[in-house]
Amino acid sequence: MFYLIGLGLGDAKDVTVKGLEIIKRCDRVYLESYTSILTVQRETLEEFYGRSLIVADRELVESCADEILPEGRDEDVAFLVVGDPFGATTHTDLVLRAKEKNIQVKVIHNSSILTAVGCCGLQLYSYGETVSIPYWTDTWRPDSFYERIASNRRRNLHTLCLLDIKVKEPTLESILKKKKDYMPPKYMSVNEAAGQLTEILSDKIRDDQSTEFTDQCLAVGLARVGCEDQRIVACSLRDMTSVNLGPPLHCLVIPAKEMHPLEIEFLRHYALEGSQFGEMTR
């Protein structure tokens, strides 16, 4: 059997009872380490689970996926994913590979940012397409995520923006020399994401293009959702460029143009001190 087990969003104790029972009895247990992170280290998880974990980085999952799957009919393998197992398309690929080999698959679901984002008060059924905001480089500055946010705004829908994670990314030099050398891990913050969005808006305005929203629109920053030190801030997109929500993981929400009164009342509790929250929600 091949098990995909969601770990939730917080710490070691967020695993379900069913998931923990399976982890304890599997022959091999992998911890996926590049689509998201928990607030605790692998050693803490190993102590809580009572067994060792094999770290599955991007290279292993995307290039050597067949090595992860059970090798025989009597072997059980667990693959642990932060959040819910189907929060990333990579894990769908693992399921398809297992089925092609006639390996039985069982999924143990858990909480995901796609539902936990409801903690900010914006109603889940009013969200449109989820977007990812990647880190820009000196030579690569994609802006397609703006178009998706604009499309949601036109339909009066909220947008959840998932922010880039760089873990075990090879350096340019190592790629050229075919030598394994990796950059330090980094995780995009809400102020970095807001900064890239405001730059796109400025470029469009400079080029006399119309925009679906401005840097004065309401934005909601969330950090470490599901953890004891979770933080939420509501302010203008421009103000968000200066907000420091602390350690990762962060996500950003651009609300719909029109919100339900209950959504506005809920968000009011997270309004940044000194911000013009009332003006942004009219």
The answer for residues whose C-beta is within 8 angstroms of residue 120's C-beta and 6 or more apart is 220, 222, 232, 234, 253, 266, 267, 270
Q: How far apart are CA 105 and CA 56, in angstroms?
A: 18
Dump the DSSP string for 214-250: -TTSEEEEEESTTSTT-EEEEEEHHHHTT----SSPE
Place of tokens 């020399």: 177
DSSP state of 101: T
Is position 163 annotated in a ligand binding site?
yes
Is position 112 annotated in a ligand binding site?
yes
Is position 250 annotated in a ligand binding site?
yes
Is position 84 annotated in a ligand binding site?
yes
Helix (H, G, I), strand (E, B) or coil at 182: strand
Closest CA to 104 of 136, 140, 70: 70
Q: How far apart are CA 132 and CA 148, in angstroms?
A: 10
Task: Report the binding-site residues.
Answer: 9, 84, 87, 112-113, 163, 225, 250
Task: Report the binding-site residues for S-adenosyl-L-methionine.
Answer: 9, 84, 87, 112-113, 163, 225, 250
